[in-house]
Amino acid sequence: MNLKGKHFYNTADFSQKEINYLIDLALKMKKVQFKKSLSGKSLAMLFFNPSLRTRLSFMMAMEKLGGVGLDFPIKEGYTFEFKEGTIMNQKTIEHVKDAAKVISKYSDAIAIRSSDLITSNSESVQVSSWDKLKQDTVLKSFMKYSQVPVINMESNVYHPCQGLGDAMTIKEKLGNPKKKKYVLTWVYHPKALPMATPNSQLLSACDLGMNVVVVHPKGWELDKGILKVMEQKAKKAGGNFQVSHSQKEAFKEADVICVKSWGALKFYGNWEKEKKIREQHKDWIVTQEKMVKTNNAIFMHCLPVRRNVEVTDEVIDSKNSVVIDEAENRMWAQMAILRSLIKS
Ligand code: CP
């Protein structure tokens, strides 16, 4: 399998054979001694937003592979221009075209987190429309001009490393996940969160050939184009994909319950209006009462989690909860990505 030099923006850019190869490589690396194949190699990490897991797991992944992951404080750097042909006599100081090429000379891959909705604020931040955000200008610009692989550490639209880490966790816990029931449920959260994670989590479950259900209140539909890809991917892998509005129905006989909140697409740029409707859905929390309807499902959450808002302590601290292994597996999945993409 030759993936050298490719960007890792969205798992859907890869064939199901390639995704399964990466999952199996990650599982193997977790179990057996491996070669430090990235000795002398470096990863430049640019975080435009906060992170705990992604930041540390990428650093540790590079360390374990014999290379170095350098977290450049990009927010203290120059402000970038993204438009082509701009007369740069205003606020922006450096064109991404130059920055991407320069960083490519210092490193063997560039990993970027750039999402308008990931903040440390307690309240939702105002953003542009979904049509604008889904262009993923920062990631796409770096991918255009970089001369080394660009890895998406979460953009507005996708969080492929979370998707791959989750798929690895599902295979690790369930064995062969084909035709098993995977449910991703929207839950109440006081803030409007991005939808990159559910997009990538669902795409990965579809790639595994699972019977996938996404359940959310009416009004919280995911992007139509991405839903279509999920449907196609599930069918191709021998599973199916459904949308539901009833948690009670969806949880029946589920093998995996994955929890995530996100902001409603049509209210991007107007969270005040969304918040009033969202507040009516505080009963969208995962409780033990709901979990007993499942087929003894494992419980997944990408973290960070608002305990007793998204899920009760009883569920997240239960023996069915795999959230800590899920976070650990981010590192192994990223090691498989780094080893496969970086040219030796
Ligand atoms: N799940 C996840 O991406 O966590 P961080 O935001 O802490 O990186």
280 located within any domain = yes
Q: What is the pLDDT of residue 259?
A: 98
118 and 130 housed in the same domain: yes
- Token pair recorded at residue 236: 């191709």
pLDDT band at 122 (very low <50, low <70, confident <90, very high): confident
44 and 133 housed in the same domain: yes
Strand order in the sheet with 109-113: 68-72, 42-47, 109-113, 150-152
For 149-180, how does the pLDDT look when each residue is reduced to its tens digit (9 = 90+)? 999 999 999 999 999 999 999 999 999 999 99
Q: What is the mean pLDDT of the chain?
A: 97
Q: What is the pLDDT of residue 153?
A: 98
179 located within any domain = yes
Q: What is the pLDDT of residue 124?
A: 86
* Greater pLDDT, 136 or 344: 136
Q: Is the pLDDT of residue 42 over 90?
A: yes
77 and 182 housed in the same domain: no
Could you tell me if the CB of 56 is within 6 A of ligand 1?
no
198 and 334 housed in the same domain: no
Domain that holds residue 118: 11-158+328-341
290 and 180 housed in the same domain: yes
For 1-34, how does the pLDDT look when each residue is reduced to its tens digit (9 = 90+)? 899 999 999 999 999 999 999 999 999 999 999 9
218 located within any domain = yes
Residue whose CA is closest, atom 6 of ligand 1? 51
- CATH number, residue 233: 3.40.50.1370
142 and 199 housed in the same domain: no
186 and 54 housed in the same domain: no
Q: Is the pLDDT of residue 126 over 90?
A: no
38 phi-psi bin (left φ>0, alpha ψ -120 to 50, beta other)? alpha
Torsion of CA 103, 104, 110, 115, to 10 degrees: 60
- Token pair recorded at residue 172: 């690790």
Kindly give the residue spans of alpha helices, DSSP state H, lying in the chain: 16-31, 53-64, 96-106, 130-133, 137-145, 160-174, 196-207, 224-236, 247-251, 271-278, 288-291, 313-316, 323-341
Residue whose CA is closest, atom 4 of ligand 1? 53
Could you tell me if the CB of 277 is within 6 A of ligand 1?
no
108 and 121 housed in the same domain: yes
Q: What is the mean pLDDT of residues 234-253?
A: 98
Q: What is the pLDDT of residue 291?
A: 98
Ligand 1 atom nearest to CA at 57: 8
Q: Is the pLDDT of residue 320 over 90?
A: yes
255 and 136 housed in the same domain: no
Q: Is the pLDDT of residue 265 over 90?
A: yes
3 located within any domain = no
187 and 315 housed in the same domain: yes
45 and 58 housed in the same domain: yes
Integer Cα distance of 150 and 65 in angstroms: 18
Single-letter amino acid, residue 208: L
Q: How many domains does the chain have?
A: 2
Q: What is the pLDDT of residue 120?
A: 87
Query: How far apart are the CA of 161 and the centre of ligand 1, in A?
Result: 10
* Greater pLDDT, 124 or 92: 92
Q: What is the pLDDT of residue 344?
A: 85
